[in-house]
Amino acid sequence: MASKKHLMAFAMFFVLPGARCAPAAPNAEGTPWNQRTWEQRFVQSDYEDAFTFKHGETFYRDPFVWAVTKEFAERFGMPRQWIDPALKGALAVAWRITTIGRPLCGLGGDPEACSPAFTCQMDIYVDNDAPIPWRFDDVERDFLWPGLSSLDYVPRRPPAPRRSRYDFEDGRLGSKGVPFHKTGWEYRNGDTEIGFFISYFDRAYEPGITLLGFRSACPSRSSNGAAALRFFTEEEQSRTQGWIEKFVHTVEFSDAFMRRITDIYRRERERHQKEHSACGQMTQRLLPGPKRYTGVRLIDLLGRPGMRASPLPEREADAGRRVGVTAAP
């Protein structure tokens, strides 16, 4: 059992001989959009300048639903309407549905009948001081995610040491393994417990900010309401035999945020089912529903260069301890 280790991020900087820092670009304010440099557009400009149709030109549309703190919005120039005073334990959260991943084909005996991936992704930005129970103090970041790289389509040949470093099937995900105890967090949305999968992380994403990326983050279709993601240590799991009493960190999502993402999820799931209804009943069973969840990485939109869930038995829901979570008030 690995001992509990707290957050100890480090950074390494390499300077090439003779290298010089590039001069700072002129401030973007007052410069017409079509005359701005790349840095002025995506580093010095606010979110609405870079990722909306504000200037009447092509732009990169943001697929994420956001909730941010006032401090995060001011630091990164995010829209003020996304400020959520009820967001606790995080600086920002971003959620989306995506079809990135491996399509399943051969449905109904037709090799061309395929069901695209249908997954949910949630990125959580927390303060570096948040006591996330990291297992490895020497691993600062790890971004490999099953379904995003061509590695998933290269047949295995023993001993395949590089492949095994990222083998999700044996409980590893990352160069040394899962960054914190694989059951070291629990999520509760209404009457449904959902097991997130940690997919990537960066403990020095920005000065003072850690990024945690999760998949299998689809909400329950059968309930709305505030939700909580709570972290605990391996020692606590062992000491209480799963009846968690002490959490080291909690992220609380507001009722408003959960309703936004739940509405989108319901609508997109229905659309996805209709589009692929020709694949037969198999497609319906593969999609995440009220009691099944599947679980994708956030592109930089800030202007800067396993567990399957099931509803809890009533006695455990009342106790609120065995799974280590309760619905946020």
DSSP label at 55?
A: T
> E strands within 7-139?
65-68, 92-98, 104-105, 114-115, 119-127
* % residues pLDDT > 90 (the chain): 16
Contact 289, 221 (CB under 8 A): yes
Q: Kindly give the residue spans of alpha helices, DSSP state H, lying in the chain.
A: 38-42, 47-50, 70-76, 161-165, 234-240, 255-275, 281-286, 314-319
Q: Which of 60, 62, 9, 57 is nearest to 33 (CA)?
A: 57
HSE toward the beta carbon, residue 308, CA cutoff 13 A = 8
Q: What angle do CA 267, 294, 317 make, to 5 degrees?
A: 90
Burial of 87 (0-12, 13-18, 19+ CB in 10 A): buried
**Which of 4, 13, 44 lies closest to 27, judged by CA?**
44
Contact 152, 145 (CB under 8 A): no
pLDDT digit string, tens, across residues 180-203: 554 455 554 444 455 577 888 888
* pTM recorded for the entire structure: 0.67
Per-residue model confidence as pLDDT tens digits over 54-79: 778 787 888 899 999 999 999 888 89
For every residue of 243-263, DSSP letters joined together read -----SEEEEE-HHHHHHHHH
Residues of the chain with pLDDT under 50: 1-26, 162-172, 182-183, 188-192, 279-329
- pLDDT tens per residue, range 253-275: 999 999 999 899 989 988 888 77
What is the predicted pLDDT for the residue at 260? Answer: 92
Residue 172: CA count within 13 A, CB half-sphere: 12
3-state helix, strand, coil in the chain (%, to 5): 25, 20, 55
What pLDDT is attached to residue 48?
Answer: 80
Q: 15: how many CB neighbours lie within 10 A of its CB?
A: 8
The dihedral formed by the CA atoms of 103, 109, 111 and 113, expressed in degrees to the nearest 10 = -50
Please provide the DSSP assignment of 227-246 as one string: EEEEE--HHHHHHHTT----
| Number of CB atoms found within 10 A of residue 233's CB | 23
